[in-house]
Structure 1
Amino acid sequence: MSDTLSHRFCTAPLMDWSDRHCRYFWRLFSKRATLYTEMVTTGAILHGDREKYLQFDAAEQPVALQLGGSDPRELAECARIAEQWGYSEVNLNCGCPSDRVQSGRFGACLMAEPELVAAGLAAMREAVAIPVTVKHRIGIDDMEDYAGLTRFVEAQAAVGITTFIVHARKAWLNGLSPKENREIPPLKYDMVYQLKRDYPNLEVVINGGINSLDECKQHLQQVDGVMLGRAAYQVPALLAQVDSELFGGEAGPSPAEVARQMLPYIERELARGQRLNHISRHMLGLFQGVPGARRFRRHLSENAHRPGAGPEVLEQALSLVTQAA
């Protein structure tokens, strides 16, 4: 494993959220976090617009590509492509519970087929030199016993997988929506802690319901790493303390400094045909809890989508916060 790739703190793959603009924005706060793409299906990479799905800015590194799929040959080919594009890691999604995912035979339903997952991960490992990892749940449907979790993990460890990112909730594949699956099944952090105790040679990263760096520190007493999703998206400024509090490095820049650092990026992206609101939508929570935050959000929301909107919209929104502060 590359010594630049740490799983001590990661941002989660978030569908429709953790796109390349979001990751570039997050990276300005933390140099040390490992950032994950949205899940990209093997079909999208093999038959779709590769530039659209795989393009990223070198400044985002270390960045990991999360794949959705179950066919070992397709997974191996996509892992090869990920390595060619310069990703630092490739991760297999065995945790997403949506109907669309099940019909395509990928995501959380794969936890019922540990041997198929192992065949896919083995093929990916054989195809690339970069790390191959897996993200999964503690169980699905009625398979929620600890023995079921260890059966799944042991099957993957047997083909050389050493990093397991575990969402500490089971997934109900029938009866709950993806949103409900993030909220209703109870969090069982103890099962993930037990996994680390029983398999000390594996790297275990915990995910699910973690909302602060204080909580991250508590988890890090039990496991090797933490992964934050919605909290990082909704309150991105908390990422500014990741390097100092979790890695012993320097604190990241202030929200206002990050907003200013986004201006040249926005100019570059607009020149390439992107629209301002595709970038600024990830920045709405930038000043969460700060005087003027609502005015900042409103100005971006009302103006970023207009034809011809440029960096001046962000500058105007920023002035509303600094005036209020």
Structure 2
Amino acid sequence: MTKPVINSVHAAGRFSIAPMLDWTDRHCRYFHRLLTKNTLLYTEMVTTGAIIHGRGDYLAYNKEEHPVSLQLGGSNPIDLAQSAKLAQERGYDEINLNVGCPSDRVQSGKFGACLMAEPTLVADCVKAMQDVVDIPITVKTRIGIDDQDSYEFLQTFIDTVAATGCKDFTLHARKAWLSGLSPKENREIPELNYQRVYDIKQDFPALFIAINGGVKTLAETQLHLGNVDGVMMGREAYHNPFLLSQIDELVYGGEKSTHSRHDYAEMMLPYIDNHIRNGGSLTHIYRHMLGLFLGLPGARAWKRHLSEQGHKKGAGVEVVEAALLLVPKS
């Protein structure tokens, strides 16, 4: 099997937060960036149709989010190239192609995990984007789909796409069942197979290989980094965001954070105030902060106050300030 020769890798992806629909919006990413300066952040998956034909601004983000990657959903090389070009013009640091989402809606649009069965089409999509932008084009995929879950199947997929010069792959260490399981079940029922991702790194040493799926602790993160180049954390980073404050030190060798949970909440207040002054709602933001005090005394009161008061008309920073008073400072 021919291995591409790669001169560099996307080092920011040594640790990243997974793109999660309805979760990792621009408010979530702003909050996460306060906690970690180096982690690679991903947008929610955005379809090419939304970018090209949608009425809203689906490429909006905060300048503070860098490094930030736009995850695209699509299978038409021309549409993907147009979307990638627009994203580069807006300043995104990377474009990531979704070849991992198993939902019925995504399948009906012929993108997501079902694209694993068409590696040549994926390669065409990647090449079309590479031809019009200078920023990295990366791929997030599963380790297999349905009964096409042999190691050879995954090897062929990686080899075909990497032949375009694609340098960076994130592998969700579960196969996807395209029928019979919901997207939620696809995150939990197919067995994790971390060894298969490790083996891909061994067989493609020149590629940047990141692992995703079931990562819940910093200890697990460091264990994986002994076998692959990067780790992508999903729901745990969202539900327990304070752990992100240790990433810059433990993964990137930076200085230890001296900020408390209260500090990070207070750092969000100017952002919240600005959002509300511009017509936004506290509801858009506070939901991403609910897990900040996870496991500590007062955590339940913090969540309850935000949930009960944050959605009310006119709710502002005073709601967050009042919720903070319910949590003892450690």
Distance, in Å, in 1 between the alignment partners of 2:11 and 2:88 is 14
Q: Residues 13-44 of structure 1, C-alpha deviation per residue, up to 9 Å, x if partnerless?
A: 00000000000000000001000000000000
Deviation at 1:250, TM superposition (A): 1.6
Deviation at 1:2, TM superposition (A): 9.2
Deviation at 1:170, TM superposition (A): 0.2
| Aligned equivalent of 1:9 | 15
Runs of 4+ in 1 over 6 A off after TM superposition: 1-4
Q: Residues 103-160 of structure 1, C-alpha deviation per residue, up to 9 Å, x if partnerless?
A: 0001000000101110000000111000110000000000110000011101111111
The one-letter amino acid of 2:90's match is W
The one of 224, 227, 230 aligned to 1:225: 230
TM-score normalised to structure 2 length: 0.96
The one of 141, 150, 156 aligned to 2:155: 150
Deviation at 1:273, TM superposition (A): 1.1
The one-letter amino acid of 1:45's match is I
The one-letter amino acid of 2:102's match is P
| Aligned equivalent of 1:170 | 175
| Aligned equivalent of 1:35 | 41
Q: Give the alignment's Cα RMSD to 1 decimal.
A: 1.3
Residues 271 and 92 (structure 1 numbering): CA distance in 2 closer, same or farther, change over 3 Å? same
Q: Residues 214-257 of structure 1, C-alpha deviation per residue, up to 9 Å, x if partnerless?
A: 10000000000000010000100000000011111023332111
* 2:143 pairs with 1:138: yes
| Aligned equivalent of 1:119 | 124
Distance, in Å, in 1 between the alignment partners of 2:214 and 2:107 is 23
| Aligned equivalent of 2:4 | none
* 2:284 pairs with 1:278: yes
Q: Residues 171-199 of structure 1, C-alpha deviation per residue, up to 9 Å, x if partnerless?
A: 00000000000000000000000000011
Please tell me whether the aligned partners of residues 5 and 62 of structure 1 are also in contact (alpha carbons under 8 angstroms).
no
The one-letter amino acid of 1:88's match is D
| Aligned equivalent of 1:93 | 98
* 2:261 pairs with 1:255: yes
Q: Residues 278-322 of structure 1, C-alpha deviation per residue, up to 9 Å, x if partnerless?
A: 100110001001110000000000010000000000000011002
Please tell me whether the aligned partners of residues 45 and 71 of structure 2 are also in contact (alpha carbons under 8 angstroms).
yes
- Name the SS of the counterpart of 2:12 in structure 1: coil
Runs of 5+ consecutive residues of structure 1 not aligned to the other structure? none
| Aligned equivalent of 2:299 | 293
The one of 260, 269, 279 aligned to 2:275: 269
The one of 68, 76, 80 aligned to 1:71: 76
* 2:188 pairs with 1:183: yes
The one-letter amino acid of 1:225's match is G
The one-letter amino acid of 1:220's match is L
Residues 68 and 266 (structure 1 numbering): CA distance in 2 closer, same or farther, change over 3 Å? same
Distance, in Å, in 1 between the alignment partners of 2:8 and 2:195 is 29
Please tell me whether the aligned partners of residues 168 and 208 of structure 1 are also in contact (alpha carbons under 8 angstroms).
yes
Distance, in Å, in 1 between the alignment partners of 2:181 and 2:315 is 39
Deviation at 1:258, TM superposition (A): 0.6
Distance, in Å, in 1 between the alignment partners of 2:60 and 2:168 is 25
Distance, in Å, in 2 between the alignment partners of 1:4 and 1:262 is 29
The one of 308, 318, 325 aligned to 1:319: 325
| Aligned equivalent of 2:313 | 307
Runs of 5+ consecutive residues of structure 2 not aligned to the other structure? 1-6
Please tell me whether the aligned partners of residues 9 and 207 of structure 2 are also in contact (alpha carbons under 8 angstroms).
no
Residues 272 and 4 (structure 1 numbering): CA distance in 2 closer, same or farther, change over 3 Å? farther
- Name the SS of the counterpart of 1:247 in structure 2: coil
TM-score normalised to structure 1 length: 0.97
The one of 104, 109, 115 aligned to 1:110: 115
Instruction: Tell me how many residue pairs correspond in the alignment.
Output: 323
Distance, in Å, in 2 between the alignment partners of 1:13 and 1:213 is 19
Structure having the higher helix fraction is 1
| Aligned equivalent of 1:83 | 88
* Identical aligned residues as a percent: 57
Residues 21 and 126 (structure 1 numbering): CA distance in 2 closer, same or farther, change over 3 Å? same
Residues 208 and 124 (structure 1 numbering): CA distance in 2 closer, same or farther, change over 3 Å? same
The one-letter amino acid of 2:181's match is L
Distance, in Å, in 2 between the alignment partners of 1:49 and 1:81 is 15
Distance, in Å, in 2 between the alignment partners of 1:260 and 1:270 is 16
Please tell me whether the aligned partners of residues 210 and 216 of structure 1 are also in contact (alpha carbons under 8 angstroms).
yes
